[in-house]
Amino acid sequence: MSFLLWLEDAFKWVQEADSIFAYPMILTFHTFGMAFLVGTSVAIDLSILGVARGLPLPPMEKFYPVMIVAFWINVVSGALLFAPEATRWTFNPDFLLKMALVFLGVLIIRLIRTTVFRSAAGPDSASVSMRGKVLAATSIAVWLAAITAGRLTAYVDSWSKFTSLFVVTGN
Amino acid sequence: MDTFLFHFKTAYAFWLVDHFHWMWPMLETLHFIGMALLVGIVSILDLRMLGVAKGLPIAPLQRLVPWAVFGFVINLLTGLIFVSSAPGNYNTSIAFRLKVLFILLAGLNVLAFYVTGISRAVDALGPGADAPRSAKVVAGISLFLWVGVMFWGRMLPFLWTQGANAE
């Protein structure tokens, strides 16, 4: 607990610095990283599932560095967004769910590398194993859930705040 | 631009967002999903033309494009609802105008890609073939503009505006 408070103190400049190069720019880099990590991953998943008929899959592995760079941009930017509000995020179930989903999504990207790209599979999606197809479909589902949980961190600090989203007001 | 905003300032969109508290977060979530889909596929195509993953023939790679268009349509629709339900966040925002400008420029770039025959020329490129310089220019401009669109969109609540709702 005191570690969380120390973190918050050490990184409060992220939110308190009156500069668009602090919080706003870090948030923007987090968005870039998300788009390139998730977007590239989903494009690879769609290819594995056979959306692009006739597309040879092995060269698609060349886009792994894009995802790896995007991932590390988001580890760094994410840590900087986490630290100034370390206590808030540590005890936010939606944030923890998001982290679990991101971990799972990245794990699946690695599993797809060994299952689809590093196995002796044939040239295109027609020769991908059932395991490879299931991984690709699961990847898309996990990223959709991760984006949803991630976007909701801006709105959901607690279960009651989550349920309050569904209370109908006005007329 | 102001008449454009005015016409889409429908009472219905405002009512939806005002009435259902989950509506705005859900639309934002869809906007991020559409963004990832669009940027992921477009950047793969652009990077291939710029020389990454040259083992990919371009014609079958272009079969991913309808999914990028799908992402764009999601974002056009959710974006129109944002603007119509909370025009105050956008109608005085310079960042929003720059975002729209970048989207229009990206549209012109795509138009140039198809109209000038660059699309057909790269469609003929098999595994290992290098794209012509014109295709590389279009690809570079595309990457720059879409990153720019994300930049203006994400920075919109922080630049030249006091709007807080769009965060």
B44–A40 C-beta distance less than 8 A: yes
A40–B43 C-beta distance less than 8 A: yes
Contact by Cβ (8 Å): A58, B53: no
Closest-approach residue (CA) in chain A for B154: A28
A/B interface, count of CB pairs below 8 Å: 130
Directed axis angle between helix A64-82 and helix A93-112, to 10°?
160
- Which residues of chain A make contact with B159, given a CB cutoff of 8 A? 20, 24
Report helix, strand and coil shares of chain A as percent, to nearest 5. Answer: 75, 0, 25
Q: What pLDDT does A98 receive?
A: 97
Q: Which tokens hold the place of A7?
A: 């973190």
Q: Is B90 helix (H, G, I), strand (E, B) or coil?
A: coil
Q: What pLDDT does A145 receive?
A: 98
More confident residue, B72 or B157: B72
Selected for mutation to probe chain A from B14, B27, B30, B32 (highest A CB count within 10 Å) is: B32
Q: What is the pLDDT along chain A (171 residues), one digit of tens a residue?
A: 789 999 999 999 998 888 888 999 999 999 999 999 999 999 999 999 999 999 999 999 999 999 999 999 999 999 999 999 999 999 999 999 999 999 999 999 999 999 999 876 667 777 889 999 999 999 999 999 999 999 999 888 767 777 777 777 654
A46–B158 C-beta distance less than 8 A: no
A38–B57 C-beta distance less than 8 A: no
B36–A35 C-beta distance less than 8 A: yes
User: What is the spatial distance between Cα B49 and Cα B151, in angstroms, rounded to a whole number?
Assistant: 23
Closest CB to A47: pick one of B32, B54, B64: B64
CA atoms within 13 A on the CB side of B23: 19
Tell me the whole-structure pTM to 2 decimals: 0.91
Q: Does B19 touch chain A (CB under 8 A)?
A: yes
Q: What pLDDT does B166 receive?
A: 46
Closest-approach residue (CA) in chain B for A153: B25
A31–B150 C-beta distance less than 8 A: yes
CA distance A5 to chain B (A): 26
- Which residues of chain A make contact with B20, given a CB cutoff of 8 A? 168
ipTM for the predicted complex: 0.92
- Which residues of chain A make contact with B150, given a CB cutoff of 8 A? 28, 31-32, 35
A155–B25 C-beta distance less than 8 A: yes
Residues 85-124 of chain A whose Cβ lies under 8 A from any Cβ of chain B? none
Residue B48 CB neighbour total at 10 angstroms: 26
A33-A29-B71 Cα angle (round to 5): 50
User: Which DSSP state fits B128?
Assistant: T
Q: Does B84 touch chain A (CB under 8 A)?
A: no
Q: What pLDDT does B164 receive?
A: 47
